[in-house]
């Protein structure tokens, strides 16, 4: 009996982490403190003030994959968790304010792309969310990780500020040529300004077998260097020469 009780306690803790209620609020008649039947997938929504099954209101598709490194996986999982919770909060708030019922068409999709060369792991997480506006929102996040040294690789570890200035100018010239019909030079220059290092914060790396970076690929955000119509440009740079790989 002691072992059975201990197992039930453990089950309650696990379920609490997935149904957004604390272990102390669970009761043994299959309902939480808000009378939501957690075994049937219901959880209490603070925004809607009722029990809901999230998948009946909106769609969340998490296609993330493991990097094979526990520490890096933990970082990515934590970020995806925050993105998911933020989406759920916004979606449920809109459902309440707009008096929506049934499936809303709101969605969140998360995809992960991994590039592993040598001891370096580059993870790109792409998210797309739609909450009923004119178009959805796409956001990218990247992690570059040295598996041998077990630490993150930052932009300053790869290029100097002077080199970044050269890269910025090369990308500017490239985008002007590529986007000639949607060009706004001031917009491009602002989005590529090295005074704001976050402009170049989303990047992935390719290294040789010794771990020396060979290429760096910059992912620019929606509206960063131009209107929504141009998409989210991706530019690959060959390190050493700092020229663009087309």
The CA distance from 144 to 36, in Å, is 41
User: Which position has the token pair 């300053």?
Assistant: 156
pTM: 0.83
User: Which position has the token pair 């917009």?
Assistant: 187
- Per-residue pLDDT tens for 12-23? 433 333 444 444
The CA distance from 120 to 125, in Å, is 16
**SS3 label, residue 226:** coil
- Per-residue pLDDT tens for 50-65? 999 999 999 999 999 9
Nearest to 98 by CA among 131, 138, 128, 129: 131
- Whether the per-residue pLDDT at 107 is higher than 90: the answer is yes
Alpha carbon 174 to its chain centroid, in Å, reads: 27
DSSP 221: P
Give the mean pLDDT of 209-224: 94
């Amino acid at each position: 009996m002691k072992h059975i009780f201990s197992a039930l306690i453990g089950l309650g803790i696990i379920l609490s982490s997935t149904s957004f209620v604390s272990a102390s609020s669970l009761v043994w008649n299959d309902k939480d403190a808000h009378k939501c039947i957690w075994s049937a997938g219901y959880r209490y929504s603070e925004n809607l003030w009722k029990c809901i099954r999230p998948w009946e209101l909106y769609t969340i598709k998490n296609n993330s994959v493991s990097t094979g490194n526990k520490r890096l996986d933990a970082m990515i999982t934590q970020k995806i968790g925050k993105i998911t919770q933020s989406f759920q909060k916004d979606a449920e708030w809109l459902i309440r304010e707009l008096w929506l019922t049934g499936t809303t068409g709101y969605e969140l999709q998360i995809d992960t792309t991994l590039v592993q060369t040598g001891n370096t792991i580059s993870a790109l997480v792409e998210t797309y969310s739609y909450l009923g506006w004119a178009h959805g929102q796409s956001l990218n996040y990247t992690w570059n990780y040295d598996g041998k040294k077990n630490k993150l690789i930052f932009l300053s570890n790869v290029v100097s500020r002077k080199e970044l200035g050269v890269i910025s100018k090369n990308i500017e010239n490239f985008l002007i040529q590529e986007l000639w019909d949607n060009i706004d030079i001031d917009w491009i220059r602002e989005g590529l300004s090295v005074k704001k290092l976050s402009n170049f914060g989303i990047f992935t790396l390719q290294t040789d077998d010794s771990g020396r970076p060979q290429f760096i690929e910059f992912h620019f955000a929606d509206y960063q260097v131009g209107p929504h119509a141009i998409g989210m440009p991706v530019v690959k740079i060959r390190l050493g020469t700092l020229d663009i790989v087309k």
